[in-house]
Amino acid sequence: MRTRPGRSRLRFRSALIVTTAGVLAAACTAGGGGASGPAAAPGADQAVTVQVWSNFSDRELGIVKEALDKYHGKHTNITIDNQGSQDDDKITQSIRSGNPPDVAISFTTDNIGQFASSGAWQDLKPYIERDKYDLDDIPKAVLDYTEFNGNRVALPMLADVYGLYYNKDLLTAAGLSAPPKTTAELLDYAKKLTVKNPDGSIQVAGFLPQMGFYAFKPQIVGTMFNAQWVDKDGKSSLGKDQGWKDMFTWQKELVDFYGWDNLQKFTAGLGQEYSADNGFHAGKVAMAIDGEYRTAFLADQTPGLNYGTATLPTSKPENHGGGYTTGTIIGIPKGAKNPGAAWDLIKYLTSDTDALVGLANGLHNVPSTKTSLSSPDLKLGDNFKPFLDAFANKNLTSNPASTIGDQYLKIVSDFGVSWQTGTVPDLGKGLADLDKQIDDAKALGK
């Protein structure tokens, strides 16, 4: 779902985008549920204009328009005002000013805790219960990132799933016949696939373990080690969970294999993540973690690359088959003028198989219901299949929603940067310190 840097859901932001008091003060008009129940959809003879805001633009906005036009064809009384290039900040500002769109589409799942706890997005539960919306058709990990503390303020509209990309020619040259399934194998493959120049510098990297580079992010890599973010009481558990210790130890072994200075010099010479000279595209990186959307980049920018895809390697074989997921979310902002019509459109975009398949084919993303995964109309190619399989797997995971948004992810990522450079003397103490930082930040964010 990322077709350029501006689409990145995994970028870190230091400031919270939702100011709770400000949003609630401005969001005191129409709501989803209440004493009178959820708003009704407009009658067939009632002309309504529904304003939809998203951060889609250019070709992608056109793909969304196709889906909206099909909805309009079934509901000719409902005109849709489809506005792109509207990010979460703009949506939040519109709520604060009392003039929000009817439907908000966000690429930033990490903001769901703020949307829910502040009341910025309306509770969809009354609509879901009234219309018997089938939540069971959505994987649990996806349900988790579209609600907060039982407050469902969003539904998924397409998903990103992360897996392993590998250069088939480089694997064959190294005598490797299949992609790695375990993290131990990934470490071994990375060393075997690495080619160094006579001076010891890196010519080809088997796999890049540099925190924050491309898609090497704690929430994705942590999935490979079944690392748990919180304990049963909702407290940060990095210092107590063995998965995090295993992940950082594994990372450091590979960093030390390359040498930190060597690794820095090598990655400094690679192309940007979304450019045609991305390290994997250029054949300078043999294996890489990335989302399903990379298949579209490769088809467009490097059609001759002989590559394959697989689900993420895991530290334990019993956890294999899943992966990390995030995605586009859609909801009704507080103060929406036409909440009943907005819900009817949201229901269509998130549960109608034809609509989801059309969007998935056009945007090269994973459709977000179990039913749509098996549609014969999906035309996404063989290298897309592992992402569909991972999305349907019981081991699919995501990171938890929080009132502090992605601040806790930045805290862990910053630690990972220090750890990989060798400036953290005690891993256990460092992870325990992270727990205090995160829990303190959550306490302030309440």
Per-residue pLDDT tens over the stretch 251-277: 999 999 999 999 999 999 999 999 999
Task: Please name the residues in contact with 90: beta carbons below 8 A apart, sequence gap of 6 or more.
Answer: 53
| C-alpha 250 chain-centroid distance | 24
Q: 154-204 pLDDT, tens per residue?
A: 999 999 999 999 999 999 999 999 999 999 999 999 999 999 999 999 999
Q: What is the C-alpha to C-alpha distance for residues 18 and 111, in angstroms, rounded to an integer?
A: 8
Mean pLDDT of the 367-388 span: 96
Over the stretch 206-241, which tens digit does the pLDDT of each residue have? 999 999 999 999 999 999 999 999 999 999 999 999
Q: Which amino acid is at 280?
A: F
Helices (H), 82-213: 88-97, 112-118, 125-131, 140-144, 168-173, 183-193
Strand partners, 49: 79
pLDDT, residue 30, reads 39
> Which secondary structure element, helix H or strand E, spans residue 68, and what is its range?
helix 58-74
Q: Is residue 424 pLDDT above 70, yes or no?
A: yes
CB atoms within 10 A of CB 175: 7
- The alpha-carbon radius of gyration of the chain (Å, integer) is 22
Q: What is the pLDDT of residues 124-142, one digit of tens each?
A: 999 999 999 999 999 999 9
Beta-strand ranges (E) seen in 197-331 are 202-207, 285-291, 307-310, 323-331
Cβ-contact 37, 126 below 8 angstroms = yes
Q: Which pLDDT belongs to residue 37?
A: 80
pLDDT at 6 > cutoff 50: no
Domains and CATH numbers, the chain: 5-160+326-397 (3.40.190.10), 161-324 (3.40.190.10)
Separation CA 422–CA 264 (nearest Å): 13
pLDDT surpassing 60 at residue 104: yes
**In angstroms, rounded to a whole number, what is the distance separating the alpha carbons of residues 331 and 159?**
15
Question: Cα dihedral angle (398, 401, 407, 411), rounded to 10 degrees?
Answer: -50
Q: Global pTM?
A: 0.92
Collapsing DSSP states into helix, strand and coil, what is residue 14? coil
pLDDT, tens digit, 9 for 90 and up, residues 76-103: 999 999 999 999 999 999 999 999 999 9
pLDDT surpassing 50 at residue 13: no
CA distance 309 to 86: 33
Whole-number pLDDT of residue 36: 64
- Residues 301-310 have pLDDT tens digits of 999 999 999 9
| 28-59 tens-digit pLDDT | 433 444 446 899 999 999 999 999 999 999 99
CA terminus-to-terminus distance, the chain: 31
Q: State how far the Cα of 88 lies from the Cα of 78, in Å rounded to an integer.
A: 25
Q: CA torsion, points 211, 365, 8, 433, in degrees to nearest 10?
A: -40
CA-closest candidate to residue 442, choices 393, 398, 410, 408: 408
Tell me the average pLDDT of the chain.
Answer: 92
Give the DSSP H or E segment for 151: strand 151-152
